[in-house]
Amino acid sequence: MKAFLIDRYGKKETGRIGEAPEPSLRDDDVLIRVSAASVNALDTKIRTGEFKLILPYRLPQILGNDMAGTVVSVGAGVHHFKPGDEVYARPDDERVGTFAEFIAVKAASVALKPSNLNMVEAASLPLVALTAWQALVETAQLKPGQKAFIQAGSGGVGTVAIQLAKHLGAFVATTTSTANVEWVKALGADVVIDYRQQDFATELRDYDVVLNSLGKHELTRSLQILKPGGHLISISGPPTPAFAVARGLAWPLKQVLRLLSRGIRSRAKRQRVTYTFLFMRANGSQLSEITSLVESGAIRPVIDRIFTFQDTRGALAHVESGRTKGKVVVEMPQ
């Protein structure tokens, strides 16, 4: 089958389209013909080797972390999917590779595609929607009337997280550039900080939850806007010892993560705030919940650009530029 692969880690690695063996089907798997796959910041970080200690893939590796497509066949132990079903998924970490004609995904990580979306729209959602769900619903347990600050509101995670937080009944603040202020308000944000002209740390106060997706500077300053008992959730790091335990990482790596996160954990403790590093995981049940929200109109996908499979390299470069509004999707030839 055709696939987009990397042969080595590094900033100069651009990837290539080549031949790869079709995936084998395990008893609990669903084999899917990929119609479209979205591009995430995680893909560029895997390519440069940023996660090679945590996610040690065997090279060459097919890139791609979420998709939508049609079930071709199912494993002997799978009874709730059948050939012809239109589905979407975020594969488990150790089995990524959605920039390909086919992928085998654990059935427990798959959900039926929202009936009101096409394949491109559906492919844009799994990773970012699961990230928003696991941050706001599962980790923060966001409640009606609480205040949530979601950084980078025009990004892939931000566009979904704003909509989800509003659905949960929260008051939502976010950041974006001048050109996107009104656009982000239309997604549901109550307060929009133009980061070119304003400082969120001086504008906002007494927030219950912060979802951080930016760098160390923004992470530290986020503590200033949280009330005691608030929750700072970061999807951009630094990872914590709790994350290392959950991933089953080796003792030396646990100590490295302990040192990397010591500063923010100590500051959070002094301010009576909880700090959590979130590395989202595949979950078909949660994705089914998201399907219901999409079909009800509570969440809608936001597509920035659609690239052909032949231009997957261009799609990755566009995401890496940091100028996207919503998601970038690669459409597979059918």
E-strand spans in the chain? 2-6, 16-19, 29-39, 61-62, 67-74, 86-89, 102-106, 110-112, 147-150, 171-176, 191-194, 207-212, 226-234, 274-277, 303-308, 327-331
pLDDT, tens digit, for every residue of 155-201?
999 999 999 999 999 999 999 999 999 999 999 999 999 999 999 99
CA distance 288 to 309: 27
Helix 284-296 and helix 126-133, axial crossing angle in degrees, nearest 10 = 100
Q: Indicate the average pLDDT of the chain.
A: 96
Report the pLDDT value the prediction gives residue 55, as an integer from 0 to 100. 87
Mean pLDDT to the nearest integer, 272-286: 97
Report the pLDDT value the prediction gives residue 322, as an integer from 0 to 100. 83
Mean pLDDT to the nearest integer, 219-239: 96
Domain 2-125+301-331 bears CATH identifier 3.30.70.3420:
no
Report the pLDDT value the prediction gives residue 314, as an integer from 0 to 100. 97
Which numeric CATH code is attached to 128-277? Answer: 3.40.50.720
Q: What 8-state DSSP symbol labels residue 51?
A: T
* Sequence ranges of the domains in the chain: 2-125+301-331, 128-277
Confidence category of residue 51, pLDDT binned at 50, 70, 90: confident
Mean pLDDT to the nearest integer, 291-309: 98
Confidence category of residue 143, pLDDT binned at 50, 70, 90: very high
Cβ(87)–Cβ(47) under 8 Å?
A: no
Mean pLDDT to the nearest integer, 247-256: 90
Is a pLDDT exceeding 90 seen at residue 68?
Answer: yes
